[in-house]
Structure 1
Amino acid sequence: MTALVPRSRRKLASLAEALLTPHGMDRYLELVDPMLVRREIRGVVTGVERQTADTVTLTIRPSRAWRGFTAGQYVRVSVDINGVRRTRCYSPACSQHRRDGQLELTVKADPKGLVSRYLHENAEPGMVVNLSQPDGGFTMPERRAPKTLLISGGSGITPVLSMLRTLVDERHPGEIVFLHYANTAEDVLYREELAKLAALHSGVKIVLAYTLAKSGADLHGFFSAKHLTKAAPWYRDAETYLCGPKPLMDSVRERFGDDGLSERLHTEEFTPPALKFDKADAEGQIRFAHSGKEFANSGKPLLEQAEDAGLNPEHGCRMGICFSCTKVKTSGCVRNAKSGALSEEENEEIQLCISVPVGDVEINA
């Protein structure tokens, strides 16, 4: 008999949803409590910490629609700023096995970043944000490697710290080296926790490299082959996970490429990919309906063409991850610059940052 109760509740919920059309149940539930919504994912901020002058660490309790995440993945976080919903991607820094089910996000305030500055300046306990289900393939295999090298720089520490915390929670018996780059000791996020993890777990080694200061550093300067061999002499036999600023990632990729180890290097980045566009054969007219702007197709992605024309569409990552620049294409055809796929449907949502016009295109913006 008890097995029938959940099914009955689902039927009642579906009936209520139908009766409350067109707004749906969530629109009424959120008037009582935003965290009661059933279909959308919300998160309430339960803790705020500012580890460094330009970062904020948020502890967030997700609503019941949240399904959990895998270490290394990212989550789209949306906030309403001056009546406009803004979305950015952040990687949880906590273990995927965190017992209370809460998320920990550390956000670095970019001087030009609308969302990061907003969170840095305004986040407080009780604040409610919108969340997505997790995404991204920057994850460890279920069968953990006997040797793991984690390399990060700056705020890129968050996804690899999540991996470290996850491995520690699993009591992973293998060797783990965590190599992190920062300007000075004061710029190292989670510095005290990293020291405690190394002290409590014999298989964990923390190596801090400071690019501007020598005092207190295990290594000094930028990434090099010497740094790699000193931090993890066995790196050729390890699985390596890397996240950080582009110069660091380029240097590590080059080193691993020279060593024939590219397949053992796994990376995550939120910088635009190097895409090539056929500007010579571009044709057609581009029209942004609301602004009335119309111009010749240059062959660039629609976001860049809009900016060249003096428009300022909402955008975030510029690489098709955060969906901030999603707009409705009312007519025409575009090509996805990452996949090469064509989108020809009318009234279709597209991402301006990775959509290249093929002939005449009109955007409802």
Structure 2
Amino acid sequence: MTQNVTFDDLKTVTDYDEEHFTEATRIPMWDPEVDDVLVCRQVRQETHDVKTFLFSAREPRVFRFYPGQHMTFELPVEGMIMRSYTISASAARPYRIEITVKRVPGGPGSNWLLDNMVPGKEVNVTGPAGEFTTDATQEEKLLFISAGSGITPMMSMTRTACDLCAPTDLHFIHAARTPADIIFKDELELLAAQNPAFKLSFTCSTTSGHNSWSGFEGRLSLQMLSLMSPDFKDRKILCCGPARFMEGVQNMLLEAGFDMTNYHEESFDFGAETAGTFEEQVAAPEISDQTYRVSFTKTGHVVECGPGMTILSAAREAGILPMASCQRGICGTCKSQLVSGETDMQHGGGIRKREIDQGKILICCTTPLSDIEVEL
């Protein structure tokens, strides 16, 4: 009799490997505190404006990540920018990292990757990190709802579940503009054919010119959702996609009387080309009743930072618009250099210890404890 392997089993094996794997195979684990360079090994064209980039370390490394987590990439655009991309690969295949990126009009990160990333090129990264994950091998009923490039964390979870034998009871709904815009369509249909407990549904805003289309057409509605997943009220729902799409899904579920404690969504801004994590609160920072001066050395702005105000909030009040996405210290997009002064940073894993030792901070989750200078 075949016994399914769960993601908890995978984690146990991985923990065992960390202790014994190097001696057995001489391939060390990827250490996020030390390792920070990935090498592009392959580029795949998924749709007309989406590519998948396959990476591994310079020397063989075993990656450990949860399906749905992301990595933050340092890209040589306008000096240097930070962008977070969800890992789309299966967590059960630990020797590589894949990200799947959709071209965003005017988006410096996505455009640079699609135009410049080729096999052999190296890139500096941070992570993996993030909490938007679930174990699709457990005996719970799941429903994934995604749109556009929001499919990437769901794909990682689905691939992992299928690699570990089979999802227990998984419905997957994906919305796209046209059938030609459905990312991973062929692979998802193959996985659904191979796994009876995996039910797949697509809907497209328009199917003009696609005479063979047999899926749903139109924007996702409550009636459509009921046809795709009749027992959706009994399921744990994970949603990922553009903000307006997720807002529409929430409103739809509220109208249906869904228990929203079983609803989770990715909370990053897709307009900033990011992806990754549940709507959960990071521990609240210590709040002082003192107002401090914040000096931004690059722009010359000096602002007052009131009690409990983060440096990011102070920057925005000064008219400075630094890149920031999660605003909870997870993605690393707003990493900056603290020039002088004392701060309190309550981050969620988006910065390495050695970077903190070098004086770097995440301005989205850092409050001043004195007058400070920041390289912005």
1:24 aligns with none
Letter in 2 for 1:54: D
Once the two structures are superposed, the pairs formed by residues 269-348 of structure 1 within 5 Å of their partners are 269-271=267-269, 283-297=291-305, 301-303=310-312, 305-307=314-316, 309=318, 311=320, 313=322, 315=324, 317-329=326-338, 330-331=340-341, 333=343
Segments of structure 1 that go 5 or more residues without pairing to the other structure are: 10-34, 276-280, 339-344
What SS does the aligned partner of 2:34 have? coil
Alignment length (residue pairs): 321
Give 1:358 shift: 7.2
32, 36, 46: which one aligns with 1:51:
46
Larger radius of gyration: 1
Once the two structures are superposed, the pairs formed by residues 2-81 of structure 1 within 5 Å of their partners are 39-62=34-57, 63-64=59-60, 66-81=62-77
Percent identical: 27
1:97 aligns with 92
Give 1:122 shift: 0.3
* CA distance in 2: counterparts of 1:71 and 1:251, whole angstroms: 25
RMSD value, Cα: 3.7
2:108 aligns with 114
Instruction: Say yes or no: does 1:238 pair with 2:235.
Output: yes
Give 1:264 shift: 2.0
Residue pair 2:45, 2:52 contacting (<8 A) in 1 also: yes
Once the two structures are superposed, the pairs formed by residues 144-223 of structure 1 within 5 Å of their partners are 144-172=138-166, 174-213=168-207, 216=213, 218-223=215-220
Residue pair 1:73, 1:91 contacting (<8 A) in 2 also: yes
* CA distance in 2: counterparts of 1:203 and 1:195, whole angstroms: 13
Give 1:261 shift: 1.9
Decide whether aligned partners of structure 1 residues 270 and 111 sit closer, same or farther in structure 2, where only a CA change above 3 A counts. Answer: same
Decide whether aligned partners of structure 1 residues 175 and 335 sit closer, same or farther in structure 2, where only a CA change above 3 A counts. Answer: closer
Give 1:191 shift: 1.4
Letter in 2 for 1:203: A
* CA distance in 2: counterparts of 1:50 and 1:252, whole angstroms: 29
* CA distance in 1: counterparts of 2:347 and 2:160, whole angstroms: 35
* CA distance in 2: counterparts of 1:194 and 1:78, whole angstroms: 30
Instruction: Say yes or no: does 1:123 pair with 2:117.
Output: yes
What SS does the aligned partner of 1:172 have? coil
TM-score (norm 1): 0.74
State the structure with bigger RCO (CA 8 A, min sep 6), 1 or 2: 2
Letter in 2 for 1:349: K
Residue pair 2:347, 2:362 contacting (<8 A) in 1 also: no
What SS does the aligned partner of 2:269 have? coil
* CA distance in 2: counterparts of 1:168 and 1:140, whole angstroms: 14
* CA distance in 2: counterparts of 1:220 and 1:108, whole angstroms: 22
Residue pair 2:82, 2:334 contacting (<8 A) in 1 also: no
* CA distance in 2: counterparts of 1:337 and 1:90, whole angstroms: 18
Letter in 1 for 2:128: P
TM-score (norm 2): 0.72
Residue pair 2:104, 2:111 contacting (<8 A) in 1 also: yes
Decide whether aligned partners of structure 1 residues 309 and 266 sit closer, same or farther in structure 2, where only a CA change above 3 A counts. Answer: closer
What SS does the aligned partner of 2:101 have? strand
Segments of structure 2 that go 5 or more residues without pairing to the other structure are: 1-19, 271-278, 282-288, 349-355
Give 1:262 shift: 1.7
What SS does the aligned partner of 1:156 have? helix
Give 1:210 shift: 1.0
